[in-house]
Amino acid sequence: MSKNTITIINNRDGKTYEFNILDATVGPSVVDISSFYKETGMFTYDEGYTSTASCQSKITYIDGDAGQLMYRGYDISFMAKEKSFLDTAYLLIYGELPSQDELTDFKLEMQKRSFVHEGIKKLFDSFPDGAHPMAILSAGVSALATFYFKHLEITTAAEYQEMANRIVAKIPTLAAFSYRYSNGLPIIYPDLNKGFTENFLNMLRAYPHEYVELKDVEIKALDTIFTLHADHEQNASTTAVRNLASTMAHPYAAISAGIGALWGRSHGGANESVIRQLEMIGSVDRVDEFIGKAKDKDDPFRLMGFGHRVYKNFDPRATILKEIRNELMEELGISSELVEVANKIEQIALSDEYFVSRGLYPNIDFYSGLILQALKIPKEMFAVVFVIGRTPGWIAQWSELRQQKSIKIARPRQLYVGSSERTPNT
């Protein structure tokens, strides 16, 4: 019996099975159960994949108990405080932090590729006023596969680089266009004299022939938010992207699927729900009522922005955002009323047995919404901001899978609990 295996005994028939243990660089080892069905005739069962590793990856590491997050080995606090979002995007996609020259070239790439084919406007014209920007964005990204069909087959590093840079550069433009079309506003084109994050804010806020003053503190706050959202291991939307990568689907179809998954309020849609929930609660004296609803098993109400599948301690991204919120409350004009309600929720939840025993702490979405609101970004655009940040992570994860020597299509099994064979009543 080797030290690098786990032995399982089936108590029904006394048979024993050995499975190899594979060790991580840091963090939990895994038990390789790929032969489990062949050897035992049974499947393993893990709804929501709470204890299941779906892949090997070198991109992002999370230690939920220690509240640690690393991008390619660099701690999130270093990336958020010392580096820019484009540094982060380059690191995730290409594996190393860019040199000054590489960063300059990458910035130029982002500016050069920020325009989208004029044909996209015809698609966006067909959507109704008030259409949610996430629905428009998902359609727009999927439509990019019609203009860049050639990315269906990527074999060289140059082709991969073109595909990756193209989508990272175009997402902010499509995102801003989604908002403008949803509100019947004239679109603002990218400005080749502006940086990545400043350009997005300008395309969101400006009007034709009108100069909009964007404060450095606003641009830096949003750039940091993009960095904090850039990747997060095998979360639900990244799993969707990887699933499409495993079928050899077009990379932009995979990103569109990631947008769809992220939009759910249990995932990236939570930031919009947090603000709506804070506004619904409205004042600190109503907080207790809603904490009670969140704890009531018979009440479907959940405290949005609280809890996380992996972090059973503070989400390190939330810690950084809380600092930004507190530092910039004055400069950004963050709503003190909503902050008071948020602080009261946090203060109660962090001492209440229900939340503490379940490891329910504020997550990234609990704080991002208040900062985005202060940046004059509309609530329905919060998840869109998440998409802009997460796209480099999705593309890095898509490419890591597609560059594997062998690719297994994602195809889980099930525990069938339906009818056994029935004969139709004649």
Q: How far apart are CA 306 and CA 354, in angstroms?
A: 12
Residue 242 near ligand SDX by CB under 6 A: no
**Cβ of residue 302: shortest distance to ligand SDX, in angstroms?**
4
Q: How far apart are CA 57 and CA 24, in angstroms?
A: 10
The residues near 263 (Cβ < 8 Å, ≥ 6 apart) are 134, 135, 138, 269, 383
Widest CA span in the chain: 79
Residues 332-361 close enough to bind ligand SDX by CB under 6 A: 358, 360
DSSP 3-state percent helix, strand, coil across the chain (nearest 5): 55, 5, 40
**Whose Cβ is closer to ligand SDX: residue 117's or residue 302's?**
302
Q: What is the DSSP string of 330-397?
A: HHHT--HHHHHHHHHHHHHHTT-HHHHHTT--B-HHHHHHHHHHHTT--GGGHHHHHHHHHHHHHHHH
**Cβ of residue 233: shortest distance to ligand SDX, in angstroms?**
6
Residues 30-59 close enough to bind ligand SDX by CB under 6 A: 48
Residue 308 near ligand SDX by CB under 6 A: yes
Residue 205 near ligand SDX by CB under 6 A: no
Binding-site size for ligand SDX (CB under 6 A) equals 22
Figure out which of the listed residues 165, 182, 363, 373 binds ligand SDX, where binding follows CB under 6 A: 363
Mask: binding to ligand SDX, 261-300, rule CB under 6 A, as x and -?
A: -----xxx-x-----------------------x------
**Cβ of residue 54: shortest distance to ligand SDX, in angstroms?**
13
Q: Is 63 one of the annotated active-site residues of the chain?
A: no
**Whose Cβ is closer to ligand SDX: residue 203's or residue 349's?**
349
3-state DSSP assignment of residue 127: coil
Q: Which stretch binds ligand SDX (CB under 6 A): 1-9, 23-31, 252-260, 304-312?
A: 304-312
The residues near 147 (Cβ < 8 Å, ≥ 6 apart) are 117, 119, 120
Q: Is 308 one of the annotated active-site residues of the chain?
A: yes
Q: What is the DSSP string of 412-425?
A: ------S----PPP
From 132, 229, 232, 308, the catalytic residue? 308
User: What residues are labeled active site?
Assistant: 308, 365
Residues that bind ligand SDX (CB under 6 A): 48, 232, 235, 266-268, 270, 294, 302-310, 358, 360, 363-365
